[in-house]
């Protein structure tokens, strides 16, 4: 899937991170005409800029999108959750029983 992130600023850099996954393809500054980076875990998105990221979702479950300055998650609610559906893939990942 492809995800777009905009940092309206005005002052703080976002350290964009997908908990439970990595950015398989990452376009810094939204530069889709440039060669992308690959397999990025956390990436800075400066104020007034954007980023475009693509991730594979080989197993079902939640992927949490956060700013790695986690006080922004806890105090300001900067959290996105993508719930990936599909069949379990125990050869790739077996979650603990509830």
Superfamily of segment(s) 2-84: Cupredoxins -  blue copper proteins (2.60.40.420)
Give the pLDDT confidence of 7-61 residue by residue, as tens digits. Answer: 888 888 989 999 888 999 999 999 999 999 999 999 999 999 999 999 998 888 8
Which DSSP symbol is given to 85? -
d(C-alpha 18, C-alpha 27), whole Å: 15
- Give the model's pLDDT for residue 10: 87
> Which two structure tokens, joined as six digits, stand for 77?
């609610």
d(C-alpha 17, C-alpha 20), whole Å: 9
- Give the model's pLDDT for residue 96: 73
DSSP, residue by residue, 14-76: EEEEEETS-EEEEEETT-TTSPPEEEESEEEE-TTEEEEEE----S-EEEEEEESSTHHHHHH
- The residue ranking higher by pLDDT, 71 or 41, is 41
């Amino acid at each position: 899937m492809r995800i777009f992130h905009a940092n309206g600023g005005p002052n703080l850099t976002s350290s964009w991170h997908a908990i439970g996954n990595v950015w398989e393809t990452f376009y810094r500054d939204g530069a889709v005409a440039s060669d992308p980076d690959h397999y990025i875990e956390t990436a800075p998105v400066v104020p007034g800029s954007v980023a475009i990221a693509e991730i594979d979702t080989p197993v079902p479950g939640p992927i949490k999108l956060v700013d790695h300055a986690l006080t922004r998650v806890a105090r300001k609610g900067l959290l996105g959750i993508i719930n990936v559906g599909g069949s379990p893939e125990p050869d790739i990942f077996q979650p603990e029983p509830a």
